[in-house]
Amino acid sequence: MKSLFILCLALLSVSSLFAQGSGTLSGGIETQHNFFIRDSIIGAANTPQYDRQKYGSNTWVTLNYQNWGFDIGMRFDAFYNSNLIDPLDSYTALGIGRWHIRKEVFGLDVTAGYIYDQIGSGTIFRSYEARQLAIDNALVGARLIYKIGDFLSIKAFAGQQKKVEKQKSLFENYQPVILGGSIDGSFIIGAEKDDEGNITSTKNAVILNPGIGAVRRTLDDETMNNIVTDISSYAPEDVFTPKYTTYAFTAYNTLSWKGFTWFAEGAYKTHEAINTFNPKGVLEDYSGYNVYTSLAYARKGLGVTAQYKRTDHFVLRTSPLQSLTRGQIAFLPPMARQNTYRLTARYNAATQEVGEQALQLDILYSPIPRKLTFALNIANITQLDQSFVDFKSPLYRELYFEGTYKFKRKWKAIAGFQVQQYNQEIYEQKPGVPIITTYIPFAEFSYRFDRKKSLRIEAQYMHTAQDFGSWLYGLAEFSIAPNWSFTASTMVNVVPKKYENIEAFYDFLISYTHKSNRFDLSYVKQVEGIVCTGGVCRYEPAFNGVKFNVNSRF
């Protein structure tokens, strides 16, 4: 009730200001409604939603107001019988999910409230939101940014991380305190200038964007007491003294010259208690480091990007007692392609904080610009003590090839092939299961009947002898611009390994768009699996039921 009162008061205040003709008001609403239909054969059962509640929803209402140099925003969150936070449980809660006030004062940018930001590529600090994965690790506190000319920017922040867990603590914060800051530069060497010293061209110049950053996380007494209690139960050889404070440091730089772009970052974290998923089930005392670099070259018709990453015990969270997507302070860049097709994206590599080394090569070649394009991606992720050429027990390997042909604006065809090796035992913590090997041919065809009507068809096949077995997937989407879209897809377990019979999973979607409003109504029968975004993954159970979503902006 207190949160609702605050929301109503804020709405009245902002509405009053807007009604006076001053400032700019913007915002939006996103709401998801799920109606659950029990299906024990596919595993859509034995949760509160399927057994008795039959309904669940998630809603986010955002408001932003700008006036007098202020940027003021807030978000109201409401969850009813939701399985977003815990796919196997239900919770109901509502309140203020985010608010912020921002103002620039003589070059000093001041922000208070819920802050989304990062240092460098995010290796030692990144606060961000990914609703589909139930991630909202905003920093709740204050941030200062001061720019010195066009060459230097200094940033400092302090706060606590927002907690996204069970319903009673959904709108609270983790108690450990996070302090951090960074210095970022921007320098141009060799630029062409006019007689007055103004830059006229950077075509042959070297552009440098260096930076350094640091983060300090201090545990609260309650968290430390829980850690000490846990350690006190260990065998003598596993006992150590945990530390309240952990430091993380990073240095990074982006160098651009002609068609080349080279980014490099190295980060180090001091000793602390971390969860290494030791077979004994104990915490261990480790420092950690992460090295990441990418080199890209682009010219007309050709783009090549090579990446390398090595991670060694770089676990940085609000507490070592947190796992999965909870309490993440650090964000380690993923080293596998972010696939979009249903079957090519079924097995995806989540970043391994405890240890991994990875290589990735991405090539894009267009022999006939705007008409014919080829894409090749190779990813190889292994454990630290494993050679890149050791194929016995990889973490993840992928070979992906795709060709695209466009005929004017009338039709487009895409065809390709993917080969994967996926360590399900590590990524999904399923002991004793074999390495999953998949072979996936796929094709897509799009045709425009006229300026408004178009048809898109997908066909994919996954051959594998592991996990659920082989799959066949098909999709057809018919669109009538700018309002209507009709989609039907099916995913058939043609060679089942877990089901007794061949099982088919369906998705029928009707989408209507009017100006900035979008309405989606669908029936979904979905197999269980891992859903990933940007290298962060979470388990999604099987689903059977009806979904109704609304997304509106104003």
Three-state DSSP string of 179-248: EEEEEEECEEECCEECCCCCEEECCCCEEEEEEEEEEEEECCHHHHHHHHHHHCCCCHHHCCCCCCEEEE
User: pLDDT at residue 11 above 60?
Assistant: no
How high does pLDDT run on average in the chain? 89
User: pLDDT at residue 4 above 50?
Assistant: no
Distance CA 79, CA 136 (A): 14
Instruction: Give the least confident one: 41-45, 91-95, 201-205, 319-323.
Output: 201-205
Residue pLDDT, tens place only, 299-357: 989 999 999 999 999 999 998 888 778 889 999 888 899 888 999 988 988 889 999 99
- What type of residue sits at position 393? S
Place 198 in a pLDDT band, splitting at 50, 70 and 90.
confident
Closest to 532 in 3D by CA, of 387, 422, 377: 422
- Given this model, what pLDDT does residue 536 score? 67
Interior angle at CA 217, CA 212 and CA 222, nearest 5: 175
Distance CA 462, CA 472 (A): 6
Provide the residue count of the chain. Answer: 554
Place 12 in a pLDDT band, splitting at 50, 70 and 90.
very low
Closest to 403 in 3D by CA, of 416, 390, 392: 416
H-state helical runs in 306-449: 424-427
Q: Collapse the DSSP code of 17 into the 3-class scheme (helix H, G, I; strand E, B; otherwise coil) and give the result.
A: helix
Report, as an integer, the average pLDDT of 96-125.
94
User: pLDDT at residue 13 above 60?
Assistant: no
Distance CA 235, CA 240 (A): 10
- Given this model, what pLDDT does residue 20 score? 52
The residues near 460 (Cβ < 8 Å, ≥ 6 apart) are: 341, 342, 343, 344, 440, 441, 442, 443, 471, 472, 473, 474
User: pLDDT at residue 15 above 70?
Assistant: no
Decide if 154 contacts 109 (C-beta within 8 A): no
Report, as an integer, the average pLDDT of 153-177.
85
The 8-class DSSP code of residue 488 comes to E
User: pLDDT at residue 476 above 60?
Assistant: yes
Q: Which element (helix H / strand E) includes 524? A: strand 517-526
